[in-house]
């Protein structure tokens, strides 16, 4: 699809980056970068892999399920790193991560939920825009059962990535048309959802 033919398509830095992601979607580098984003987002990195996953699926819908699987696997593996940070390194690295996002008071409140909700708090928080790294670090601090943590992570992250990928696969060209038509608005909304996740964690715990 030639995006220059779409209504309101304008040249600029944002569209050039979007075009680059689409053009690079077939390369091993793009897939590796997606995996790195997904892994790191579960422990320290602030941006979700969706920012790469969405344009990559739009470029090649047939890859939707493969990319969803890769995101799920690497996100769960990254969750183990977040768990280890909370379990072994909270006094240094873990606390630094929490303080970096100015979420120390909300983090303490969130930890209290483990005693009552356990498995379900991981599943439910993992499905929301709340940064998953905060869930994984809190699980480690609480010394939450590792097998239960693993099962909850598979459910939460798998549902999240497969749902998103399935919707993009199903909507196909229609989704690509509207995202490209309103690319700037789409980026603003995406960043807004990320910010909303941090705000929700801070004030709702």
Q: What is the pLDDT of residues 58-112, one digit of tens each?
A: 888 889 999 999 999 999 999 999 999 989 988 888 888 878 767 676 677 667 7
* 3-state SS assignment for residue 43: coil
- Identify the helix (H) or strand (E) that includes residue 31: helix 28-41
Contact 50, 164 (CB under 8 A): yes
- What is the predicted pLDDT for the residue at 66? 94
Question: Which pLDDT score, from 0 to 100, does residue 123 have?
Answer: 84
Task: Reply yes or no on whether the pLDDT at 10 is more than 80.
Answer: no
Average pLDDT over residues 38-59: 84
Asked whether the predicted pLDDT for residue 1 surpasses 50, the reply is: no
Q: At residue 13, does pLDDT exceed 60?
A: no
- What's the confidence (pLDDT) of residue 8? 43
Mean pLDDT of the chain: 76
Measured CA distances, 168 to 2, 138, 171 (Å): 19, 32, 5
Query: Which stretch of DSSP H or E encloses residue 188?
Result: helix 183-204
Rounded Cα distance between 40 and 62, Å, is 26
What's the confidence (pLDDT) of residue 181? 59
Instruction: Give me the pLDDT at residue 87, please.
Output: 92
């Amino acid at each position: 699809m030639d995006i220059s033919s779409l209504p309101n398509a304008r040249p600029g830095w944002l569209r050039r980056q979007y075009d680059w992601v689409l053009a690079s979607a077939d390369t091993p580098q793009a897939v590796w970068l997606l995996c790195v984003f997904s892994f790191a987002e579960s422990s320290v990195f602030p941006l979700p892999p969706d920012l790469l996953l969405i344009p990559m699926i739009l470029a090649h819908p047939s890859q939707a399920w493969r990319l969803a699987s890769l995101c799920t696997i690497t996100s769960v593996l990254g969750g183990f790193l977040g768990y280890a940070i909370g379990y072994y390194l909270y006094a240094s690295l873990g606390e630094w991560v929490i303080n970096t996002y100015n979420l120390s008071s909300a983090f303490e409140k969130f930890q209290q939920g483990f005693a009552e909700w356990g498995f379900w708090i991981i599943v439910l928080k993992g499905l929301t825009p709340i940064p998953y790294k905060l869930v994984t670090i809190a699980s480690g601090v609480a010394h939450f059962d590792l097998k239960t943590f693993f099962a909850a992570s598979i459910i939460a992250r798998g549902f999240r990535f497969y749902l998103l990928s399935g919707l993009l696969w199903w909507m196909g060209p229609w989704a690509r048309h509207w995202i490209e038509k309103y690319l700037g608005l789409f980026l603003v909304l995406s960043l807004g959802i990320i910010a909303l996740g941090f705000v929700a964690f801070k004030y709702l715990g």
